[in-house]
Amino acid sequence: MEIKIVIPSHKRPERVLTKHVVADPIVCVPVSQGDNYRANNPEIEVVTHPDSVIGLTLKRQWIYEHFGDVFMLDDDIKSMRRVYHESEYLIKNKQLVREIIESTADVARQAGAYLFGFSKNPNPASYRSSRPIELTGYVTGCATGLLKGSKLFYDGRINCNEDYWISCLNAYFHRIIYKDTRFVFEQAGTFTSTGGLAEFRNMQAEEDDFNYLREMFGDVVRLKTDTSQRKRKHVFEKTMKVGF
């Protein structure tokens, strides 16, 4: 199916890594940054939104309203990988990446899902070959697909956890997601770069988001704990557990 692949970006005109991963993406930036992005990225389309749309949450809402069927990729994606393959894990063909996104969107529509995406974990040890497709749970914010006609929207009170917001809201309204865990998009880094969401993300914002998510969705949203295999990135790192 036809779907727009859109890269929300902010103050990173020279660092749109994602354009090297997927064919024919669209970069979406504030009007005031449009000319700079076009000068630095002449090979891809740049669409601008009003400067009054501030923050990633409201930017995502504008993108959803503007494009309808859309797949949003963060601007710091460095690769798409096959989680299930032992050797040929990197997908280097940009057109193939686009086709995987388009075919996933098509199957999601046929399944009756409005929210779709891929795995969030690049570790092959976490891949369950008996369950490559998941129909419930969470879709990571760095690679989020939305189809038009849903009851979904992004709440401007969320600062930096819009992925948990949209996943919880989808569970409330629609229950089903479509997540193909055979593939994963890898980011260059979080909490480590300038521009983008780094301009708005801090521990107070993370705490405020957690409290608001709990207010709206109860104990579906929980704080993660350290394990022997993995330490939390910060004290308000979250997880989502629905009852179906």
**Sign of torsion, CA 146 98 178 85?**
negative
Reduced to 3 states (helix: H, G, I; strand: E, B; else coil), residue 125 is helix
Q: Which two tokens stand for residue 154?
A: 């992004």
Angstrom distance (rounded) from CA 126 to CA 158? 29
Q: What is the pLDDT of residue 11?
A: 96
Task: Tell me which residues of the chain have a pLDDT lower than 50.
Answer: 191-192, 199-200
Rg (alpha carbons) of the chain, rounded to whole number: 17
Q: What is the pLDDT of residue 191?
A: 43
Nearest-5° angle of CA 170, CA 149, CA 119? 45
Q: How many CB atoms lie within 10 A of CB 202?
A: 14
Alpha helices in 42-154 (DSSP H): 56-67, 94-111
Alpha helices in 41-153 (DSSP H): 56-67, 94-111
Strands 178-187 and 133-134, how do they pair? antiparallel
The CATH classification number of 4-191 equals 3.90.550.10
Q: What is the pLDDT of residue 141?
A: 92
Q: How many CB atoms lie within 10 A of CB 145?
A: 25
CB 203 within 8 A of CB 102: no
**What is the pTM for the complete model shown?**
0.91
Q: What is the pLDDT of residue 195?
A: 53
Residue 244 makes CB contacts below 8 A (sequence gap 6+) with 136, 175
* Stretch (H or E) spanning 171: helix 162-173
Between the CA atoms of 135, 138, 141 and 143, what dihedral angle is there, to the nearest 10 degrees? -20
Angstrom distance (rounded) from CA 130 to CA 138? 19
Q: What is the pLDDT of residue 238?
A: 85
Angstrom distance (rounded) from CA 5 to CA 22? 9
* Stretch (H or E) spanning 38: helix 34-40
